Amino acid sequence: LNSTTSSPVASAKNATTLTKTIAINTPGTYNVIARATSGTKTATQTSTISYLGQSTQTDYPGGIPQMGAKANSDGSVTFCLAAPDKSNVLIVGSWNEYDIATSQPMHYQDYNGNRYFWATISGLAADTDYPYYYLVDGQYKVGDPYANLVLDPWNDRYISPTVFPDIPPYPSDKVSDVPLAVYNSSINDYEWKIKNFKGVDQSALVIYELLIRDFNGTEGQSLGNGTIAGVMEKLDYLKELGVNAIELLPVMEFNGNNSWGYNPNFYFAPDKAYGTPDDYRKLVDAIHERGMAVILDVVFNQSDGLHPWYRMYDIDRNPFYNGTAPHSYSVLNDWNQDNQLVQQQFKDALIYWLTSYNADGFRFDLVKGLGSNQSYNATYDQSTNTWSGVTEDKTNAYNASRVARMKELHDAMRTVKPDAYFINEDLAGAKEENEMAEDNETNWANINNASCQFAMGWQSGSNLNRFYAPLDDNRIWGSTVSYSESHDEERMAYKCEQWGNTGIKGNVAMTMRRLGSVAAMMLMSPGAHMIWQFQEFGADETTKNSDGSNNTSPKKVVWNYLNDPDRAGLKQSYSELCAIRNGNPQMFKEGVTTVMSCDESNWANGRTIKLSNGTDELYCIVNPNITGSKAIDVPFAKDAAQYHLLSASYGVEPSLSGKSVTLPAGAYAVYGTAGMTDIEEIIDDVTPQVNVYG
């Protein structure tokens, strides 16, 4: 035992087997050494046994457990892990060279039906990285669910030092096969330049949906090597575009380095593939400096397989996860939404990102999966922790528990930032979403199919009145974030190239013109809207696999598209349309008289949007036809001389005469009264400059 120089605890001669029972009474690590000799040959094998000791019942300081690492006034740090149904947990850290033998068992406290394990560590130096992990019941090595930075033994080695300089090294000589949490007393210290940013009203948002991985990197290639530094270089471009918010696809620590981010493992740590924690904060500061808000996409339906609460249990006995989902939108590992610790984790994460990263709000992914388990009317098998009888109809039905759950999350956000943006990807019926809207939540409105139909030149299915919430099945005014493209939908330009009508397919100039008209009908409709990255200059790489599922592989970086005059013209149209909204907010607020004529019946004779507020009037006119100019009757309330052209399709000179506007096929024009502000600043020349953004 422990040394070959001590007396053996058991021995035998002329034998090939040896058995001995040893009583170990003191916690520690023991080496059992077996040595066999035959003639001049000797074979030795060592087995290591750790006797961990038992966690003892002692209340958390103050009596109420707080998950994660909490600094104390005396300089010590208290670490806490929720682990229901577990008997023993050790915290193993760099402060004692990850020595399990000298790791003190954590205390435990049973509180509100759950068991928490905690330990207070003294002597940790300020501003120093201390990686650590938890050893649960002597069997499961897991990270800390509340870690603010995570070291990955599999993927960190591939992160360039130019992206994350001085990344703490993974101690592979002492630890393996477990993500390590990093405690550092100053990890959340940052001197903010913009401390009290205030964005536009939620209903006035024009959001730019952005995936850092593909937004920048190697031009013309699909390497997925975008970084925060690259986004910083393009912020002036986004400001010029005129959007007032940037929505980042998920950036919480996800599995691997190449991802959309919808496979999170740790909800309190930024993923290192894009940069350091302070890089993220610098990005938020720089976005705020330019008058734009920051919205984070968060994934509370599922996690990947490295989340500590997933690894600590067999799935048939896991209190945190369902073995299979009770709803029809199962992705990866389905959270048990009825577990109070799961919900506490989500609320704490929202508060953390609002306060420690100065985020302005969130977009909640797959809200249809966030209802209570029983609300989906499926059948539960306790022996396997699985659900059967799951159907699409049950999942899509009105669900009061989803309404209640989102309100609970919203209430948590209000405790630190009452006016934070709240956006649901619910895609449910109007009754459910209107109840969410009554809590000042907005809901995604997917207008992709109708937008594609219009862009491709097909009248059928091209109703774009839904860009305006009251005409989207009577949703509450300003309660939707409507969009023609998103990361989940096919690119309009791709569909034009594949299935466009005669004169559109293969015709880039006409495709860009029609995409500009879609943008005009969207952005001239009151309410919040969203632009998916590169939509503004007609990105056309497919985003789907052959079976219709999302293709999440890296996409080409195509800033060089702006060298094409027609694509640059489309981008200029987006800039002008955003400028109209920004320069004339009185035309897009609640109470403005809005007349939308953009449905299928408004094809042959043209489409119009009329906004009027007092003496101010705004008109958007579109010729949906695929050939020929069209004189479109417009419900002008004043003489033609009272209106000024604010924006028009690239290369198009509309003609205003009396009560009609003449436009070529696929084109749009926007007119406003002289009383509207900054008209001359909004548009000086309909011909854009061709720029290289590389």
* Strands lying side by side in the sheet with 114-121: 68-71, 77-82, 114-121, 107-111
Give me the pLDDT at residue 455, please.
98
* Domain-located, residue 421: yes
CA 571 → CA 162, 345, 463, 533, 686, distances in Å?
Answer: 32, 41, 24, 12, 12
Give the Cα separation of 117 and 660 in Å (integer): 74
* Domain-located, residue 58: no
Residue 215's φ and ψ, nearest 5 degrees, are: -75, -30
Together in a domain, 601 and 578: no
Q: How confident is the model at residue 28 (pLDDT cuts 50, 70, 90)?
A: confident
Give me the pLDDT at residue 686, please.
37
Together in a domain, 128 and 259: no
Portion of the chain with pLDDT greater than 90, in percent: 91
Q: How confident is the model at residue 679 (pLDDT cuts 50, 70, 90)?
A: very low
Tell me which DSSP letter residue 690 carries.
P
Together in a domain, 619 and 504: no
For the ranges 47-56, 257-266, 433-442, 621-630, the lowest mean pLDDT is seen at 47-56
Q: Which amino acid is at 555?
A: K
pLDDT surpasses 50 at 175: yes
* Domain-located, residue 479: yes
Give the Cα separation of 290 and 293 in Å (integer): 9
pLDDT surpasses 90 at 645: yes
Together in a domain, 125 and 5: no
Query: Do residues 236 and 290 lie in contact, with contact meaning Cβ atoms separated by under 8 Å?
Result: yes
Tell me which DSSP letter residue 48 carries.
E
Q: Domain of 549: which CATH number?
A: 3.20.20.80
* Domain-located, residue 397: no
Together in a domain, 337 and 417: yes
Together in a domain, 540 and 658: no
Give the Cα separation of 28 and 100 in Å (integer): 8
Q: Which amino acid is at 64?
A: I
| pLDDT average, residue stretch 475-487 | 98
| pLDDT average, residue stretch 213-230 | 97
Query: Do residues 533 and 215 lie in contact, with contact meaning Cβ atoms separated by under 8 Å?
Result: yes
Give me the pLDDT at residue 685, please.
40
Together in a domain, 643 and 552: no
Q: Which of 155, 183, 211 is where one domain is finished? A: 183
pLDDT surpasses 80 at 52: no
Together in a domain, 324 and 430: yes
Provide the domain count of the chain: 4
- DSSP lists the bridge partners of residue 307 as none
SS3 assignment, position 23: coil
Together in a domain, 132 and 227: no
Give me the pLDDT at residue 677, please.
64
Query: Do residues 121 and 74 lie in contact, with contact meaning Cβ atoms separated by under 8 Å?
Result: no
Give the Cα separation of 480 and 424 in Å (integer): 9
Give me the pLDDT at residue 29, please.
76
Together in a domain, 543 and 647: no
Domain that holds residue 501: 202-310+319-378+402-583
pLDDT surpasses 50 at 691: no
* Domain-located, residue 388: no
Sign of CA dihedral 436, 261, 93, 75: negative
Give the Cα separation of 169 and 156 in Å (integer): 9
Q: Domain of 637: which CATH number?
A: 2.60.40.1180
Give me the pLDDT at residue 49, please.
79
Q: Which amino acid is at 116?
A: Y
Give the Cα separation of 548 and 532 in Å (integer): 19
Together in a domain, 92 and 28: no
pLDDT tens figures, 127-143: 999 999 999 999 999 99
Q: Which of 154, 183, 212 is where one domain is finished? A: 183
Together in a domain, 527 and 619: no
pLDDT surpasses 90 at 238: yes
Q: In which region does residue 16 sit, left (phi positive, over 0), alpha (psi from -120 to 50) or beta (all else)?
A: alpha
pLDDT tens figures, 395-414: 999 999 999 999 999 999 99
Question: Which residue matches tokens 């650590």?
Answer: 132
Give the Cα separation of 248 and 261 in Å (integer): 10
pLDDT tens figures, 497-538: 999 999 999 999 999 999 999 999 999 999 999 999 999 999
Give me the pLDDT at residue 550, please.
95
* Domain-located, residue 194: no
Q: How confident is the model at residue 116 (pLDDT cuts 50, 70, 90)?
A: very high
**What counts of helices (H) and strands (E) characterise the chain?**
14, 31
Q: For all residues of the chain together, what is the average pLDDT?
A: 95
SS3 assignment, position 124: coil
| pLDDT average, residue stretch 549-563 | 97
Q: How confident is the model at residue 687 (pLDDT cuts 50, 70, 90)?
A: very low
pTM of the predicted model over 0.85: yes
Tell me which DSSP letter residue 299 carries.
-
- Report the DSSP pairing between strands 206-210 and 245-248: parallel
Q: How confident is the model at residue 678 (pLDDT cuts 50, 70, 90)?
A: very low
For the ranges 273-287, 443-457, 589-603, 671-685, the lowest mean pLDDT is seen at 671-685
Q: Domain of 131: which CATH number?
A: 2.60.40.10
* Domain-located, residue 396: no
* Domain-located, residue 527: yes
For the ranges 5-19, 453-467, 511-525, 533-547, the lowest mean pLDDT is seen at 5-19
pLDDT surpasses 90 at 680: no
Q: What is the largest CA-CA distance in the chain?
A: 115
- Report the DSSP pairing between strands 528-532 and 206-210: parallel
- Return all residues near 226 (Cβ < 8 A) that are at least 6 apart: 211, 212, 213, 214, 215, 216, 217, 274, 557
| pLDDT average, residue stretch 619-646 | 96
Q: Which of 183, 212, 235 is where one domain is finished? A: 183
Number of neighbouring beta carbons within 10 Å of residue 114: 17
pLDDT surpasses 50 at 690: no
